[in-house]
Amino acid sequence: MKIVYFVTGNLGKVREAKEMFEKLGIDMQQISYGYPEIQSDNLGEIAKYGAKNAAMYLKKPIIVEDAGMFISALKGFPGPYSAFIFKCIGNEGILKLMRGVKNRNAQFKSVVGYCEPGKEAITFSGSVEGEISEESRGNMGFGYDPIFLHQKKTFAQMSTEEKNKVSHRCMALRKFAEWFCKDI
C-alpha cells in the first residue's frame, strides 16, 4: 500500500480525502504543519510553493490542497483568498454581498500539490460549477458548503460520499490518486 502525507489542519478536508483514498488503497496520514502560503491569484502557484516547502521541511512525500470559491458577479471574489475572507466575513458576509444580485453563478476550484523531498512539485486540479444560495442550508461540510448550491442541494446538505462524487477537491484528489497509483 502506498502512503502519502496530507499537510493540512482542516479536518473537513482530511475526512473527505481519507474516505476517497481508502477506497483506492492509499494510506493517507494527516500532518498539521503551517507551511508558508504565497500571495497569488493563481491556486496552482500557491499549491506548488506550499508542497515544495512542506516536502523539504518534513522530508516526506506530501500533498497540500488549495481551494477557492469564485463568484461570477463579484469578478471571481473571493477566489484564492477564500479562507481569509471566510474568517473575516463568513457565509453571512458573502450572502450580504450577493443580496439583490441575479447572477449567482459560482465555481469552486481546487489544486492539489504533490512533492517529494528534493524534487519539483506537480499539481492536479478540479472544479465544479454551482451558484450561491439565497440563504445558508444544511449542517454537513465546512466553510462555504452551506451557501454553494450544486444541482439544487448545497454541499452542506450532502453526505461526504455524495459530495465526493461531485466536488472540486475530490476531482483534484482523484486525478492525483490515479497518477500516484499508476505503478501499483
pLDDT band at 93 (very low <50, low <70, confident <90, very high): very high
**What's the pLDDT tens digit per position in 111-160?**
999 999 999 999 999 999 999 999 999 999 899 999 999 999 999 999 98
Cell of residue 132, nine digits: 450561491
Beta bridge partners of 115: 62
**What's the pLDDT tens digit per position in 22-78?**
888 899 999 988 887 888 999 999 999 999 999 999 999 999 999 999 999 999 999
Confidence (pLDDT) at 183: 62
- What range defines the domain where residue 10 resides? 2-180
Reference 66, options 77, 51, 56, 87; nearest CA is 51
DSSP-assigned letters across all residues of 101-147 = -S--EEEEEEEEEEE-TTS--EEEEEEEEEEE-SS---SSS-TTGGG
- Domains: count for the chain: 1
DSSP-assigned letters across all residues of 17-58 = HHHHHHHTTEEEEEE---------S-HHHHHHHHHHHHHHHH
Beta bridge partners of 125: 111
Confidence (pLDDT) at 80: 95
Catalytically active residues, by annotation: 66
The domain that holds 23 is classified in CATH as 3.90.950.10
Cis upstream peptide for 36 (omega within 30°): no
Ramachandran area for residue 160 (φ above 0: left; ψ -120 to 50: alpha; else beta): alpha
In whole angstroms, what separates CA 163 from the centre of its chain?
A: 12
User: How far apart (Å, rounded) are the C-alpha atoms in residues 68 and 101?
Assistant: 20
